[in-house]
Amino acid sequence: MKRLVTSILLAACAQLASADGLKSLEAFMQGAQAGRAEFTQTVTLPGKDGQAARSKTSSGEFAFQRPGRFKFEYRKPFEQLIVADGKTLWLYDADLNQVTRRPQAQVLDATPAAILASAANVQALRADFDLQSAPDQDGMQWVLALPKAKDGQLQSVRVGFAGDQLAAIDMLDSFGQRSLIRFTGLKTSASLPAEMFKFVAPKGADVLAP
């Protein structure tokens, strides 16, 4: 009997933690129409042939404007720019002076970008993700988002909140590569200047359209 009561209590606690995370996700998507933050991204590659996993870290600034606009500006250790302007996704590699562009609608629906900037609310997000409970960790409430499309490269996404503030995104792809992005100093607002999400290819850059 005691074991049964303990199991019921643990299940109830897990449901409460999940409700807090989902509530924070809903509040973020409803209240944060635009925002800016610094970010640190750690990408961990799985070890092969008995070798230890390898990690690399980068940092920069992130900005978003709903619906469908965002920018990741990587500054360290290498300069790189990813911009979604509402129609086109642009990727600029400063070292190669190379630009890659793709139609935004074809590549972003079932990606973390839908959580950050594309989907208007949780209901819209559920069209592409199954949202499930996830245990609290590192002082954050987490939501697990599993892509409904089974043919994509993304295996799972965990979204972490400190209260109603977006604090982290933890992604795992089908190759076992993990990417953890932590956000600091997030400042939300009703809007940001449209020019922030306008991309113009640098002079002399090669522009590719796969």
* Residue-by-residue DSSP string for 101-165: EEEHHHHSTTSHHIIIII-SSHHHHTTTEEEEEEEEETTEEEEEEEES-TTSSEEEEEEEEETTE
Assess if residue 9 is contained within a domain. no
Of the pLDDT bands very low, low, confident and very high (cuts 50, 70, 90), residue 114 is low
Coil vs helix vs strand at 203 = coil
Residues with Cβ within 8 Å of 9's Cβ and at least 6 positions away in sequence, in order, are none
In a domain, 144, yes or no: yes
pTM of the model: 0.83
Domain span at 165: 34-208
Question: ∠ CA(187), CA(179), CA(108), 5° rounding?
Answer: 70
- For the chain, the farthest-separated pair of C-alpha atoms sits apart, in whole angstroms, at 74
102 within a domain of the structure (yes/no): yes
Residues 6+ apart with CB under 8 A from 68: 84, 86, 104, 108, 117, 118
Residue 110's pLDDT band (boundaries 50, 70, 90)?
low
CATH of residue 129: 2.50.20.10
What's the pLDDT tens digit per position in 152-207?
788 899 999 998 889 999 999 888 899 999 999 999 988 999 999 999 999 999 99
**Block residue for tokens 């996704």:** 89
Inter-residue contact 148 to 129 (CB < 8 Å): yes
Q: What is the pLDDT at residue 183?
A: 96
pLDDT mean over 132-153: 87
The tally of domains found in the chain comes to 1
125 contacts 119 by C-beta, under 8 angstroms: yes
